[in-house]
Structure formats: structure tokens, C-alpha cells
Structure 1
Amino acid sequence: MKRALQPWSARSRAVTATAAVAALSLALSACAGSAGAGGSSGDAGDGYEYGAPQEDIDAAIADLDPVTINYQIPATSMESPQSPMGTNFKEAVEERSGGKITVDLAWNQSIATYDEIHDALADGRVDMAFTLPVYDPARFPAFNALNDMLGGDPSSPMLGEMIVNTVAADVAWKTPEILAELEDNGVTPFVPVMASSNYYSICTEPAPDLDDWQGLQVRVGSPAANDMVDHVGGTPVSIAGVEAYEALQRGTIDCTLAVLSDVVQGGFFEVAPTLGYPTETSFPRVSGAILTGSGVEQLPLAYQQILFDSFDHYYQGSLESGIDSKVDAITIVNETGVDIEEASSDLQDEVRSFAELTRDEVAESGIIGDDIVERLDASREHWTSTVEEMGYEEAGEFAEFDEWYDPETDYTPLATALFEESMLEHRPS
């Protein structure tokens, strides 16, 4: 389907309560150029109907002052494979608003680190951001519970990514515990749980077999990944992702579990020239979220709706960031002689076993409802069928991904279906 041209150490499931966050009293500047600027009276004003023609949107914002919002994304620069996560959204918002909303992209924790980003959203320093609630399981236990359940599915380079990201968002929007803990922390979901991309093992030496993982020092980015590495016999190491390159270079760690956009962006193959991948299961993910803060909450209603309605372009850019980076990675593998090998059946069996145990534990905990397994299964079945009905298909294996993947693939039909089925009732009104 072609794209049409268009405008740790602690287990998260053991946590049973969310840390309370004090209510914030926020004052925002009314001058043009701040995220809080807008209607002359300071109220939300009138909006427009979902699906309205551009002339109705133009009429709804005709008397509004221009505003600028900042949006912090994980990409390090415009050249990063992760930049479409921001650039596609920026272009759509600015076009739909007739230039009245300017989206300033902030690169890779340049305003606030992952440790402080949720507070920065709540107090107005950041308007919109990619965040990592998995780094704070005590504060976001419901989020982490769903993240823990996303590992273990069969791994495929394109369809698998489409399905798991859609399922994660779908189930998250329908899980009151996740929405409530975000609200309790003074943030508003744009994507309450973003499954991100498949994780791969990037190692200094080949490690395709279960025996290779015994005692292997592996950098992890979530409590679930920590426990999985321990389960298969490795030694999990919790360090920041930005430190992984140097740790691999120095031999402090043997491997890192990483998404390929980070691998390409960080140049990991230079110091760890082996790529391992599962097919019948998947390593635990380190899910993120796309959240807005107090500044966006103070915008005129029509501006909030333009941001929310631009989800289709965000989704396109997000999948481009994750899926297209695999083409970049495989190209580097072929050009530089990086070793690439599928994980052995014994290793994949243990990874799958861990995923099944994890799902049982999360379900028994009740953190996100006793029926979470059934809800996830139903969502997977529904969105798998939807993807097939839309005509998306894979034409080869992961190791030849650069040969058969079409970089012009249009993911917006799936985004629109997700929006209308799961997000529309949450649209600002």
C-alpha cells in the first residue's frame, strides 16, 4: 500500500500503587508565541467537528492568535532515523492550522531528561513529548503492567510492528487504570502506550544460542527486559541508553537490547558487529508514550483538536521511524560485514516461556484488570484481521528487508481506523 500525497531491578508487576503527585496550579503567559496563548478571553472557545472540511477549521481559528508549542522527540537531529516521529506531525499541524500553530522540535532530551520529563510537561516547560514511563514503575505501575505484556509475540519486520503498536494504543485507551495514572501525574495522553519497535540483541560476539547467554552481560532498558535476561541465564545491566556505545566499546557489557533506530543513530555496529533476532517470539519492549502537558491544555479548543486530529501523520512518522530504520540497519549489515543470525529455537523457547509467565503474573495482579489477557487477545485478533483486510503484506524475511520493503508504504489508513475506533471519544471537546 503506497502512501498517498497528503497534507529495573524491581519487577514492575510487583508494584501495586501509584505514587501520588500534588496538584499543580499553573499560570501561562497569554502572549503570542507561548503554548498557552490563544483566545482573547482565555476560555477554550469553539471547536470544529471531526472530519470537517478545511474551510470549517479555518473559520474556527480565524480569530485566534498564533501560538508555538515545543515537542521533544528522541531523535538527535533532523538526519536521525527517528526524526519522522516529529517532522510528519509538525508538517500536518502547521498545514492544518494555516501556519497559526508552530511546532518547534526539541531533540533528544534537550529540554528535559526522561527522569524529569513528566514534571516538565505538568509545569509547562515542555508542551508535548515522547516519554518513558517504564523508567519509573513505582509512579506508573499500570503503564508498566501493559508494557510487560507486549513481549513474546511473533516478530516480523513490518506487520508485527504495525499490529503491536496499534494493539498497545487500542488497549491503553480502553484501560482506565493507565489513563488515571497519567492524569494523576498532570499529563494528557496523545498515545498512552507506544509499543515502539522490536528489540534486537546487539553484541560484541555472536550469541545466537541459549548457551551463549549464560553469564552474558546485557544492557536492558526496562524491568521486563531485566527479568527476561535473568530468566535465560544472562546478567542484566541497567545503564542509560546513551551510555551503551561506550560500555560496548570498553567491554563493560557484552550486548545491548535495542531498537534498530537507536542502533543506527548511535553507531552501535561500530563496536558490536553482531545482530541477533527472534522470529517466533520477541524480546520485551521498552514502550514509550506521547504526552501533552499543561500548556496544551490551556490552548483554544480548536487548536487542541488540530493537534489531536494530526494523529494520522504522527502514526505514519512513528512507524517510518521504527520500520524504515530496519532498512538502514540491514544496509549497514550488508555493507560492513556485520554478523546477522536468527536466535536459536532453544533461546526463543525460553524468551517465550518468560513472556507467558509474565502475562500470567500481570493478570493475577489485577493492576490493569483481571480480563487483560482476554482484552489483549481480542485486540490482537481484531487488528491482525484489519491489517490483512487493508492489504498490507510482507514479501520476504528480516535479513532481506532492504530488498523487499517499500519505503512509500502508507500507514495512515490503519491510523485512521485506530483513531475512529479507540481515540475519537477522547478527542478534546
Structure 2
Amino acid sequence: MKLKKIFGGALTACVMSYSAYAEELTPRSLTYVGSWSGLLNFKAYENPFWKERIAKSSDGKWDVSITTFDQMGLNGSELFRMLSKGTFSVATTDVAYILSSAPELGGSNLPMLIADQEMAEDVMDVYRDTLDNILFERFAGAKLLGTSHFPQQGLFCRDELTGMSDLEGRKIRATGRSVAQFLDAIGAEGVTISFAEVPGALQRGTIDCAFTGTLSGYQAGWYEVADYLYPLPVAGWDFIITAMNGAEWEALSPEEQQWLLAEVRDHYEDQAWNGAADAYEDGITCLTGMGICEDGAAANMTLVEVTDEDVQAARKIAIEQILPKWASTVDAETVASWNETIGKVTGVNITEE
């Protein structure tokens, strides 16, 4: 994948070199708060990395206490504000959850601009320095350690639909501000509701549909209350970022900083990115029964075809309506940076009115 291609050779050298630093590492006790405890990213990648890999690579000198924001009774939106205050050392969360504190981050995951996994990787590659700077400025010097994403999202609907035009008038759980704006543009109603509350809300009729990752929806049993799956990529790639408290980052020696970045990139990012790509297809298989589900008993949701007409119509709305709304919430420097990075990858340019 892209991260391995870009960093692979350097990281191999780093890991070989930094393994020697284990003898010189300062013993440290860190606290880590991860993403959703029941979903793939935490179970398969975050938890093993912070619980096992760091202890092994540091020869036991770094000890990490681990929990997740849902286990703490949080909703994710407050996570990086707490990180900036030193409540814990490192945290991982969905970009969409912290846009109220850092609207600039919304530029990384606007609806319908990222066509596929390769483009998603390119976006994170070119925007990495910008993300790092945003976190530093918005969250008291926080340091970006790594990125990943939940499996590509799909729309789970209780009642029959045949395409995007059928969403008009429906109440739909949105996964972020830009998704809610998109839903408003097509005549649907964006509803803010937590991931854990979705099954009950679908069953009661509080909402008609909800976005989430395909495998995430399968693991959470959404197929028990939704019969139709529509994988129009409105909700994007659901990027996740991992950051360290600024004061704790500055307390590390330069060698420790480089060692930690190398560890994250080589032993967390690669695996998480590749795993999320595979999980999207696994989710489709398990939700529809169209193939062998290796994660449990397959459901029998109806997979609704995403037509080229719907893709083009949705992309037009995103470019003409959603992108300008995001640009109006940030400064000119952020817009210029976006044009030079994500804009070039996606082939879209934000023009001044």
C-alpha cells in the first residue's frame, strides 16, 4: 500500500536502528484511549499495538494502560479536548467526532470526493503535514502519530429503496456535519445519533436509515433492523487519527520520538489500512450472504446497486454545495493548503467567490 511504499525502506532502517534504543529508552507509563471497543480497528490493530507491540519493542520499559472512549462513557467529541489537557497520553478517534473543535479537519473527508482506497491513501499522504499542524494548533501542541480508517461506509435502511432519489424525506443518521449537509441537499433529514443508539432508533422508527462501515454494521447487528444496504460513498472513508498529548510528546527525547513514529507507521498504520480495505468487502459479504462470511453467520440484506447516475449527481452536489460550505468555515491559508494537496489528488479546486 502507499504508506509502505513511501516509508518502507526508511522504516526498515529505522526499526533496525531504533531497536538498539530499547536499552536507552526512559521507562514510561502511558495511558491510551482508543476508538470503539467492539469494532475492528481497536480489536485487531489498536489494542495489539499499544498492549503488546510497544511493550515488546521497548523491552518492557514502556507500559501502556488501555481503554476506549465508549468504555469511559464518552461520545468521542470531547476526546481530543481531554487529550490536550493531559487527561491521557495518547488517543484515537474518528475525525468526524472532533470537527466542532477543529473544523479544518473536515477537509480531509468531504462526501463523494474520494473514489477508492488508493485515492484515500493518497489523500492522507499529501495532507499528513496539514493534519499535524491542525492538531498542534487546536489541541495544545498535540502530535499526530498515525492515521487509519474504518471500513468504507454504506447506508443501512429499514424500508425498500432503489437509489438515491428514494432517500428524499427520510430521516438518516449522519456521521458528520458534511454528511448532514449532503442529506439536506437531497431532501433528506440528517439526524445526529450515536452509533450505539442506531439499532433501537431504526426499530422504533426514530430514523429510517443510518451510515456506518459495512463490517462495523455487521458486527453491531444492524442487519437485524435494516433490510437494505446502499453503498453510495457519501459518508466517505471515515478517517481515524491517533495523537499524543503535546507535553508528553515534548518530554520524549528526539530518538524516542523517531522510534515511536516508526513503530506506529510500521506496526499499526500499514496493518490498519490494509485491514480496513479488506473489511469493506467482508462486510458486504456478511451482510448480504453473497459469498462466504468468515466473521459469523451471514445475513440476507438486499444490496442496492449504486448507479453511475447517482454517483455523478452526488459528486456534483458535494462539489457545488458541500465543499464551499466547508471552505467558508476555515481561513484562506487552510483552503490554499487543501487545493495544493487534496484538491490535486481529487481533481477538485476551491475557488474564491
Please tell me the TM-score bracket, short chain as reference.
0.7 to 0.9
Distance 2:126 2:15 in 1: 31
Alignment CA distance shift 1:252-1:361 (3 Å): closer
Secondary structure of 1:368 counterpart: helix
2:332 is equivalent to residue 372 of structure 1:
no
Report the counterpart of residue 209 of structure 1 in structure 2: 163
> Residue type of the partner of 1:287?
F
Report the counterpart of residue 323 of structure 2 in structure 1: 359
Distance 1:257 1:167 in 2: 24
Distance 1:372 1:75 in 2: 29
Q: TM-score, normalised by structure 1?
A: 0.66
Report the counterpart of residue 339 of structure 1 in structure 2: 302
1:14-413 paired onto structure 2 within 5 Å: 51-52=12-13, 56-77=17-38, 80=40, 82-90=42-50, 91-111=52-72, 113-148=75-110, 151-154=112-115, 160-164=116-120, 166-175=121-130, 179-186=133-140, 187-191=142-146, 194=148, 196-278=150-232, 282-293=234-245, 294-310=247-263, 311-326=265-280, 327-334=282-289, 335-357=298-320, 358-360=322-324, 362=326, 366=332, 368-370=334-336, 372-379=338-345
Distance 2:143 2:53 in 1: 20
Distance 2:259 2:150 in 1: 24
For residues 3-33 of structure 1, the C-alpha deviation after alignment (integer angstroms, 9 at most, x for no partner) is: x9xxxxxxxxxxxxxxxxxxxxxxxxxxxxx
Distance 2:138 2:41 in 1: 33
Residue segments in structure 2 that go unaligned for 5+ positions in a row: 5-9, 290-297, 348-353
Alignment CA distance shift 1:64-1:246 (3 Å): same
RMSD between aligned residues: 3.2
Distance 1:269 1:353 in 2: 30
More helix by share: 2
Distance 1:324 1:71 in 2: 26
Report the counterpart of residue 412 of structure 1 in structure 2: none
Structure showing greater Rg: 1
Displacement, 1:82? 4.3
Alignment CA distance shift 1:214-1:367 (3 Å): farther
> Residue type of the partner of 2:323?
R
> Residue type of the partner of 2:207?
I
Distance 1:190 1:252 in 2: 38
Distance 2:201 2:305 in 1: 24
Alignment CA distance shift 1:174-1:180 (3 Å): same
Displacement, 1:252? 0.8
Secondary structure of 2:335 counterpart: coil
Secondary structure of 1:303 counterpart: helix
On the 8 A contact 2:202/2:209 being kept in 1, the answer is yes
Secondary structure of 1:124 counterpart: coil
Residue segments in structure 1 that go unaligned for 5+ positions in a row: 5-48, 155-159, 382-429
> Residue type of the partner of 1:349?
Q
Distance 1:285 1:58 in 2: 34
Secondary structure of 2:109 counterpart: helix
Q: TM-score, normalised by structure 2?
A: 0.78
Distance 1:283 1:69 in 2: 33
Displacement, 1:352? 1.2
For residues 24-56 of structure 1, the C-alpha deviation after alignment (integer angstroms, 9 at most, x for no partner) is: xxxxxxxxxxxxxxxxxxxxxxxxx96547674
Alignment CA distance shift 1:171-1:113 (3 Å): same
